[in-house]
Structure 1
Amino acid sequence: MRYKLLLVEDNPAHEELTRLALKKTGFSHDLIVLRDGIELLEYLFRQGKHVGLTRFDMPDLILLDLKLPRMNGLQVLEQLKTDGRTRFIPVVMLSSSTEQSDIQQSYKLGANSYIHKRMKAEEFNAVLRDILDYWFSFTKLPPRVYVEDVVG
């Protein structure tokens, strides 16, 4: 089965680091990269520049940066987890923040995991491999939802 991974990251250097780590893990699934929380919500609900998208499925996993422009990761997470169309999509927070309030709020709002991304490249590669193994190899994910089923 091909999985769909959605990365929400505004920093091009962090995006490139993630892409390289994915390549090293042998990642062979679909990767969608979005730049901020508003774009994520527009993508998921086919609004704004994504309004014309036709039949596509929701992502199987979202890697969500905490510090995003326009709408931060916590605000996005709250909307995802309170909307019946997206509440079951697993969300892993990736952040440079080690603030206990950020970690606690992420879990309070429904994050499935919180990963501190300030680590050496080799360690980040291993962490990302473990995340993908966990979600795509070992975990039984909820049924994939198609946009036609949730919008319209």
Structure 2
Amino acid sequence: MNEEQDLLDGAALTVYRLNGQFLTIGDGLAAPAGISVAWWQVMAAVQEQPLPVAGIARAMGITRQSVQRVADLLVAKGMCEYRPNPAHKRAKLVAITAAGEAAIRRIDPQHAVMAWRLADALGPAAFAETVAVLTRLSAALDMIIAADESAG
């Protein structure tokens, strides 16, 4: 293997580990509100504005089907609702309800504590740089995937 392959493997394995760590932390934060981290992610995605399931999936980098399952559960529990989508008759918008907002508000205090703890452990500047580097990595991968899809 060459150095670039080693770096790709190291980046991928680190991100997979980070994903597991974030899911563990997220589940711990979400549990007192009676929701899962997956529910929290979908509600957070539509907290600012309603989105179609496909839009949520794109933003989260996961399949539309997995978002659809979570959205259906959230609607059944009254934490989200489906609304008509003026841009697309069949793809309804997912919108957070007052109950969903209340669940997220219950998470906020411990979420703030965890954010402070991580900033304290890394240092605020290193924390910001870490986010910037991960964002650049994601954008580079998006470009490569798009190039492969258009070539393909």
- TM bracket, shorter-chain basis: under 0.3
- The structure with the largest helix share of the pair is 2
TM-score after normalising by structure 1: 0.25
- The higher-RCO structure (CA 8 Å, 6+ apart) is 1
- The structure with the largest strand share of the pair is 1
**Which structure has the greater CA radius of gyration?**
2
